[in-house]
C-alpha cells in the first residue's frame, strides 16, 4: 500500500500566529502516527513562518514512523538535515520568499550541483528524493544525480483533474513507468486531496508514498484529524 506522510506545516502556522504552543505541534505529530499516518513531513522555510528550525530536533526525537524533511538545499538547510538525520530528505527547488512549491528541479541544468548535494546527504545514510515535474528527460537526469527517489509535483494534475482526469495523469504515468525502469522510487505530493487521491494512486505504478498537508489539515477542520487520516488511508 502507498504510504501516507502527513505534512504538519499548517499546524505550525496556526501555532506561530499566537506566539504560543497551541496547538502542540509535537503532540499533533505523535497523534497523527497513532491515528495511522505512516510518516511526518515538514518543510522549514528560511523565514520560519510555519515549521521552525528548532522544531526539527524535537520532531526527530519523537517521530517513530518516518521523518521526511523537505526544503531548498541552502547551506543552513543542509547542515540542519545532517545534524538531525531524517529518514528522508526531499530536495525542492524553491528559493527564499516563495509561497509554496510549484515546480520541480531542472535535473539536466542542475545535475552537477545535485550530485554533490545528494552524495553529501547519502553519506549520512539519509534517503534523498527530488521534487520533480513528470517529464521523461527530468526523470532520466534525476537517475544520473544518484537520487534514491523522486517526488512528482502533482499540482498541475490536481488543477486539470476535474476537466479530464485521464489527460491530467497521462504524463505522470509515462514518467512513473520510466522511473520504475530506472529503479527510482516514486513519491508524490501537492494538492492531492480526498477527491483525486484514489485515482492518482491507482494509476501510478509502484507509488511508494504521498505527502499531503494543506488539503488534509483543511479536511480535519470538518472531520477531525483521526477521521481524516483514516479517510485518506482508505483511498490508498
Cell numbers for 117, please give them.
548535494
Q: Which residues contact 172 (CB under 8 A, 6 or more apart)?
A: 134, 152, 154, 157, 188, 200, 203, 204
Q: Which residues contact 35 (CB under 8 A, 6 or more apart)?
A: 225, 226, 229, 230
Mind listing the pLDDT tens digit of every residue in the chain (236 residues)?
999 999 999 999 999 999 899 999 999 999 999 999 999 999 999 999 999 999 999 999 999 999 999 999 999 999 999 999 999 999 999 866 555 556 799 999 999 999 999 999 999 999 999 999 999 999 999 999 999 999 999 999 999 999 999 999 999 999 999 999 999 999 999 999 999 999 999 999 999 999 999 999 999 999 999 999 999 999 99
All structural domains of the chain: 3-235 (3.20.20.70)
How big is the chain, counted in residues?
Answer: 236
Grid cell 525542492 is found at 92
Give catalytic residues, as residue numbers. 43, 70, 190
Rounded Cα distance between 37 and 151, Å, is 18
Question: What is the pLDDT, as a whole number, of residue 96?
Answer: 63
Q: Parallel, antiparallel, or unpaired: how do β-strands 67-71 and 88-91 relate?
A: parallel
Question: What is the pLDDT, as a whole number, of residue 76?
Answer: 96
Amino acid at each position: 500500500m502507498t504510504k501516507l506522510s502527513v505534512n504538519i506545516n499548517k499546524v505550525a502556522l496556526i501555532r506561530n500566529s499566537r506566539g504560543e504552543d497551541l496547538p502542540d505541534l509535537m503532540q499533533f505529530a505523535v497523534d497523527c502516527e497513532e491515528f495511522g499516518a505512516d510518516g511526518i513531513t515538514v518543510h522549514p522555510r528560511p523565514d520560519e513562518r510555519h515549521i521552525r528550525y528548532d522544531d526539527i530536533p524535537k520532531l526527530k526525537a519523537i517521530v517513530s514512523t518516518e521523518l521526511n524533511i523537505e526544503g531548498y538545499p541552502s547551506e543552513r538547510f543542509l547542515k540542519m538535515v545532517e545534524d538531525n538525520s531524517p529518514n528522508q530528505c526531499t530536495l525542492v527547488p524553491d528559493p527564499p520568499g516563495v509561497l509554496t512549491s510549484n515546480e520541480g528541479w531542472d535535473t539536466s541544468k542542475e545535475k552537477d550541483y545535485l550530485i554533490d548535494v545528494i552524495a553529501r546527504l547519502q553519506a549520512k545514510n539519509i534517503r534523498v528524493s527530488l521534487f520533480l515535474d513528470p517529464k521523461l528527460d527530468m526523470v532520466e537526469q534525476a537517475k544520473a544525480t544518484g537520487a534514491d527517489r523522486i517526488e512528482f509535483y502533482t499540482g498541475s494534475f490536481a488543477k486539470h483533474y476535474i476537466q479530464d482526469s485521464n489527460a491530467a495523469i497521462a504524463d505522470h504515468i509515462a514518467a512513473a513507468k520510466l522511473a520504475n525502469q530506472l529503479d527510482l522510487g516514486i513519491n508524490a505530493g501537492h494538492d492531492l486531496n480526498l477527491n483525486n487521491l484514489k485515482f492518482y494512486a491507482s494509476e501510478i505504478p509502484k507509488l511508494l508514498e504521498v505527502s499531503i498537508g494543506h488539503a488534509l489539515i483543511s479536511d480535519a477542520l470538518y472531520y477531525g484529524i483521526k477521521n481524516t487520516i483514516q479517510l485518506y488511508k482508505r483511498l490508498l
